[in-house]
Amino acid sequence: MAHESGSVRHNESGLPIEPVYGPEALDGWDPQQRLGVPGDYPFTRGVYPSMYTGRPWTMRQYAGFGTARESNARYRQLIAHGTTGLSVAFDLPTQMGHDSDTPIASGEVGKVGVAIDSVEDMRVLFGGIPLDKVSTSMTINAPAALLLLLYQLVAEEEGVAADQLNGTIQNDVLKEYIARGTYIFPPQPSLRLIADIFQYCRAEIPRWNTISISGYHMAEAGASPVQEIAFTLANGIAYVRTAVAAGMDVDDFAPRLSFFFVSRTTLLEEVAKFRAARRIWARVMREEFGAKNPKSLMLRFHTQTAGVQLTAQQPEVNLARVTVQGLAAVLGGTQSLHTNSFDEAIALPTDKSARLALRTQQVLAYETDVTATVDPFAGSYAVESMTDEVEEAAVALMRRVEDMGGAVAAIERGFQKEEIERNAYRIAQETDAGERVVVGVNRFQLDEEEPYEPLRVDPAIEAQQTERLAVLRDRRNARAVSAALGDLRKAAEGTDNVLPPMREALRARATVGEVCNALREVWGTYVPTDAF
């Protein structure tokens, strides 16, 4: 939230907000050169000519908890209520490549997402859902290849060809080293795996978005809007360089790149942030990588409202926060949107709160006039000035990353993490001092909070998953699994694409943990520099 510092207000990135903006703020500014038109370079006004005037954005609801069966029931409810895209949350053991029955998974099975140990769980998760008609986004990073292949295998069993599948895997491991921590392998083999995914999907699953380069988690860790887009786009550059170095033509994979950003309550700066990010990416792809396909220049992105801004105090107030955040994302030109449920600061969303979150998007899409015209803020003195300022500051920060040798080298030095932590500390200090108002937390509190009964995950889920794994291992062909895992190790030791042998191991009923362990044996695991 913008805050007061003396008589001058500053935005989330620390840039000053003028009390009044007029023509002088854009002195020497050529609107046609800077803006273009919607759907054309530099895509400031949006990546498609008609944007929402033809149809609204994809309405995704991020869901997943407990067992695959429970999550499947929630997905069916969301689809019945009008959700047009599924977004899958996985539990921590799955995100870290561990089976539910391993000691390290104890206490975490099914807690922050659904537990997926094998193709058997994946089949239950998507049972009765037409995979050729829905768009599925999977928030998974280090083991992203495994979950994508499990999805392909389930579709294959249902008679759905791989070239009919439509969706996204997050697959953005670099931000894990910076802000989130669910990494498995060191950076270089992780980048190799991502390049293998790009190549595999181009041949096998051409409609799939192979990566969702994410600033959201950096923002949740405390990154400012400028840091969010600067570090995200720097990571994007690293991924493109990796794929090009692997022998791929930029226009063969860049059209399937996508991004994932947060949307905060600071509506004007968020709109400016999205516009600036599109402009920077288009310029980088054209000037550094020589991309020719217009789709390679487009920064297409999914947005999620800011979970970090939700409060456990007076949780219903979060409905207002999420509405403003969702509006900011729409005015900024997002391609898809997830709106958080009001009770997520307390526990997993209930059916009712998840439905209310979806209804918020539907009100924006069908009851307001923001879908009637493309880029309503175009030419706004305030927003255009803020867009230029955010762009300038983000480019300067990207240059600092580049001077260190690029995103991976900067990660190894701890640069991005340190910068984000410094900004998070500044925000915490301002909140504690009352300079930054958080309604219901440091102002406008209640003497006594109303009781709220959250949704709770049944602890018996861990035992259920353990039993399912025992049955799976008893019934499968152990020799076939061992041979398939051996083929995977051999590919990982060499230069062959690891996804085909990985797919066959999963088809033979190897588990997520067994496949990840095979790669750990070859590639090792990542230990952060600040762990010593």
CATH number of 43-371+405-433: 3.20.20.240
pLDDT at 530: 63
pLDDT at 285: 98
What distance lies between CA 273 and its chain's CA centroid? Answer: 16
pLDDT at 36: 85
pLDDT at 34: 73
Beta bridge partners, 60, equal 85, 338
Residues in the chain with pLDDT < 50? 1-6, 531-532
What distance in Å separates the CA atoms of residue 161 and residue 67, rounded to the nearest whole number? 26
pLDDT at 448: 87
> What are the φ/ψ torsions at residue 234 (nearest 5 degrees)?
-65, -40
The angle at the Cα of 86, spanning 85 to 90, to the nearest 5 degrees, equals: 155
Q: Are 171 and 218 in contact (CB under 8 A)?
A: no
Beta bridge partners, 439, equal 443
In order of 55, 166, 255, 341, the CA distances from 58 in angstroms are: 9, 13, 18, 17
Encoded tokens for 256: 């399937």
pLDDT at 85: 81
Per domain, the residue ranges of the chain are: 43-371+405-433
How does strand 301-305 pair with strand 257-263? parallel
What distance in Å separates the CA atoms of residue 254 and residue 225, rounded to the nearest whole number? 24
> What are the φ/ψ torsions at residue 402 (nearest 5 degrees)?
-65, -40
| 318-325 contacts, C-beta under 8 A, 24 or more apart | 318/342, 318/343, 318/344, 318/345, 319/356, 319/360, 321/265, 322/357, 322/360, 323/360, 323/363, 323/364, 324/265, 324/267, 325/263, 325/264, 325/265, 325/270
Q: Are 102 and 93 in contact (CB under 8 A)?
A: yes
Q: What is the pTM of this model?
A: 0.91
> What are the φ/ψ torsions at residue 260 (nearest 5 degrees)?
-140, 115
Q: Are 288 and 234 in contact (CB under 8 A)?
A: no
HSE-CB for 253 with a 13 A CA cutoff = 28
Residue 456, judged by CB atoms within 10 A of its CB (0-12, 13-18, 19+), counts as exposed
Four-residue CA torsion sign, 354, 360, 363, 365: negative
In 77-228 the beta strands, taken as DSSP E runs, fall at 85-89, 135-139, 166-169, 208-209, 211-214
What distance in Å separates the CA atoms of residue 253 and residue 208, rounded to the nearest whole number? 11
Question: pLDDT digit string (tens) for 488-522?
Answer: 999 999 999 999 999 999 999 999 999 999 999 99
pLDDT at 7: 65
Helix axes 318-331, 267-287, angle to 10 degrees: 40
3-state class (DSSP) for residue 256: helix
HSE-CB for 528 with a 13 A CA cutoff = 17
